Amino acid sequence: MKSSPSIHQDHNDVDSEEKEEGTEIEVDEDALPSRAAAIHEEIRQDGEKELERDGMALLWSAIAAGLSMGASLMAKGIFQVHLDGIPGAFLLENLGYTFGFVIVIMARQQLFTENTVTAVLPVMHKPTMGNIGLLLRLWGIVLLGNLIGTALASLAFAEMPIFDDATRQAFSAISQKVMENSPGEMFANAVISGWIIATMVWMMPQAGATKLLVIVMMTWLVALGDLAHIVVGSVEIFYLVFTGQASWQEFIWPFALPTLLGNITGGTLIFALISHAQIRNDMSEAAKAETKAKQRKAQQQKKQG
């Protein structure tokens, strides 16, 4: 794989067997033991590219993603106001939650919960200190950028004369509903949310023309379950902070820390680890079969000689 150009390119190179051998990651399904292995390797390839990106490029992309996530609260609040009293309003209102994800993913902006899967696969493949350092660097930059972006979006919603009173009240109601959860509930909801987003990321390489449908379907499920998401939730809780309905301390606890840990647990420790274990077993069995085939071929050649 080619490293992305940056002034710190040597320091940002990911450790991998392919780099040591001077080859690229194999993503051809016909050359791998299973279709799942092909998806795994394609996501790992994307993960290496993200880990090697320039820090400032990551930060600006993450800030853009945070700003874009403001669209989720905006759409959901507007839908809530205009669908009031209409049958099925709950379903349509929560469809607004998907808007931010559609923008972020289709625009290829940096979203923290996506990186809990994509960027972690190269580390699981080769867990060196260098790779772990690159992962922590990526997570730190992307999370910081996402929070800056969500804070700016919430500040604009709170201070600028954009929305009427009914929409502002809807924003507050949506955000206060999040804060009704205890820290334990925040964590549990975030685990499921992280797992669903990780599943979505795993589906994307094979989504093709249905990519938009996959994004809407999976993120709508997060909204319907009232699950906690560190980036979308930050838009909502920052809105409460900037309108004086919550304190900075409440943003950190009970919201941010339990939700962040839950998203990481669901996306990385549960989904990515299990998926990686499955693929590593496939690859290991394929390698064993290839070795046996070579041994048999060598024995046959020796007999013929």
DSSP 70-137: HHHHHHHHHHHHHTTT-TTHHHHHHHTTHHHHHHHHHTT---HHHHHHHTHHHHHHS--HHHHHHHHH
User: What pLDDT score does 268 carry?
Assistant: 83
Architecture label for domain 34-290: Up-down Bundle (1.20)
Which of 130-144, 217-231, 267-281 is predicted with the least confidence, judged by mean pLDDT?
A: 267-281
Q: What's the rounded Cα separation, in Å, for the pair 241 and 254?
A: 13
Which of 37-46, 238-247, 284-293 is predicted with the least confidence, judged by mean pLDDT?
A: 284-293
pLDDT of residue 8 exceeding 80: no
pLDDT of residue 4 exceeding 70: no
The domain segmentation of the chain, as residue ranges, is 34-290
Q: What's the rounded Cα separation, in Å, for the pair 138 and 145?
A: 11
Alpha carbon 108 to its chain centroid, in Å, reads: 11
Which of 36-40, 159-163, 187-191 is predicted with the least confidence, judged by mean pLDDT?
A: 36-40
Position 7 confidence tier, pLDDT thresholds 50, 70, 90: very low
Mean pLDDT for the chain? 88
Task: Supply the DSSP string of 177-203, one letter for each residue.
Answer: HHTTS-HHHHHHHHHHHHHHHHHHHHH
CB 192 within 8 A of CB 266: yes
Average pLDDT for 44-73: 95
CB 146 within 8 A of CB 110: yes
- What tokens were used for 66? 């945070």
Position 13 confidence tier, pLDDT thresholds 50, 70, 90: confident
User: What pLDDT score does 29 carry?
Assistant: 73
Which of 18-32, 66-80, 255-269, 286-300 has the highest mean predicted lDDT (pLDDT)? 66-80
User: What pLDDT score does 285 carry?
Assistant: 52
Q: Which residue has the tokens 């604009």?
A: 156
Which of 42-51, 89-98, 219-228 is predicted with the least confidence, judged by mean pLDDT?
A: 42-51
Residue among 36, 45, 35, 40 at smallest CA distance from 14: 45
Percent of the chain having pLDDT more than 70? 88
CB 135 within 8 A of CB 90: no
User: What pLDDT score does 26 carry?
Assistant: 77
Q: What's the rounded Cα separation, in Å, for the pair 217 and 289?
A: 39
Residue among 64, 107, 58, 79 at smallest CA distance from 215: 107
Q: φ and ψ at 39, to 5 degrees?
A: -65, -45
Average pLDDT for 101-128: 91
pLDDT digits (tens, 9 = 90+) for 169-204: 999 999 999 999 999 999 999 999 999 999 999 899
Using CB atoms within 10 A of its CB, is residue 203 exposed (0-12), middle (13-18) or buried (19+)? middle
User: What pLDDT score does 65 carry?
Assistant: 98
Residue 27 vs residue 190, higher pLDDT: 190
User: What pLDDT score does 28 carry?
Assistant: 75
Q: What's the rounded Cα separation, in Å, for the pair 141 and 291?
A: 42
CB 94 within 8 A of CB 224: yes
Q: How far is CA 125 from CA 31, 41, 132, 276, 280, in A?
A: 18, 10, 11, 8, 8
